[in-house]
Chains A and B, each alone.
Chain A
Amino acid sequence: MSGTPIDNCIRRLRFEHGEMTQQALADACGITRQTVIALEAGKYAPSLELAFRIARAFGVGVEDAFQWK
């Protein structure tokens, strides 16, 4: 899977939320830990639905979690 044009700050948000683990975020969003890893590495662009779920898990807006490069 090649890089995507969507950047994200999931890693930073995790650490700002009590050093939330990748597994905890995955469980909160109903995805696998491998998908969190792929997202953080910029290898995977989430669907709109998943982007909203992730942003919601951190209590922020979608644009605070994801940015167009």
Chain B
Amino acid sequence: MPMFLRYAILVPLAILAFYVLFVLPDIDLGWLGGLALLAGAWVVWYLLWATLQKSVAAAGADNAAVPVSPGEQRAWIGLAFTAAILVYYALRAPLMVAADGSMAPEASAIGKHIGMLVAGWLVVMQVLRRRWLDKVEEDERDRGIQARACNWARIGLSVFVLGIAMMFAFSPLDRLQWARPMTVSNLLMMGLIASSMLEYAVTGVAYWRDRRSA
């Protein structure tokens, strides 16, 4: 099957699997249904992963093509996972706030889902590191790109924190009714995840621009 067709099928399916597993409200499908859903989602993600690896390997084998470096792979994978975590967090954050503004009981289940995503990310990175054992993973150019991306993330986080501080300092109290402890906690967490996502995005784009113009 042509590579573009595989992506055209697998990318929407992978997003749908993420949506069904993490975003849709929990539906009781029984243990067999739940297991089938989970297995189906993992199969789709695995196929997408294998297709990506095939593309990377094909680019690496072609001496004339510019291969995707370990640093760039790390950046795009980080971007995908932080974006997934941020979207999930943003969609589920209201459920984490109880009526009195404290932590709702649903928060622990949501936390477990986020933990699952982080664990999946760690597993993917561990598998990649094993493949890179005989390769140079990063050099001074990679460190330069990372330093620039880190600066962008720091600026983004600073702007976000300043914005929140200004909003709290200058808004009348009656317009801050929404700012209950758990809501503020969620907001800060999302800012942190977004700054991390920005760092991965800037890193990925820097590598991609270099590759495109080489």
Contact = CB atoms under 8 A, between A and B. Distances in A.
A39 B101 CA distance: 56
A31 B139 CA distance: 5
Contact of B140 (A1, A43, A47): A47
B69 A34 contact: yes
B175 interface: no
A49 B141 CA distance: 13
Given A31-B141, A41-B213, A41-B214, A26 B206 contact: no
Contacts of A27: 136
Interface string A26-59: 1100111111011011011011011000000000
A17 B50 CA distance: 37
A21 interface: yes
Contact of B211 (A31, A34, A44, A47): A34
Given A27-B136, A30-B139, A31-B139, A43 B69 contact: no
B206 A1 contact: yes
Q: How large is the interface on B (under 10, 10 to 19, 20 to 34, 35 or more residues)?
A: 20 to 34
Main secondary structure of the interface of B (DSSP, over half): helix
Size bin of chain A's contact surface: 20 to 34
Given A1-B206, A1-B209, A46-B140, A32 B71 contact: yes
B70 interface: yes
A43 B67 contact: no
Contact of B136 (A21, A30, A38): A30
A36 B138 CA distance: 13
A32 B210 contact: no
Interface of A: 1, 21-23, 26-27, 30-35, 37-38, 40-41, 43-44, 46-47, 49-50
Interface of B: 63, 66-67, 69-72, 135-142, 206-207, 209-211, 213-214
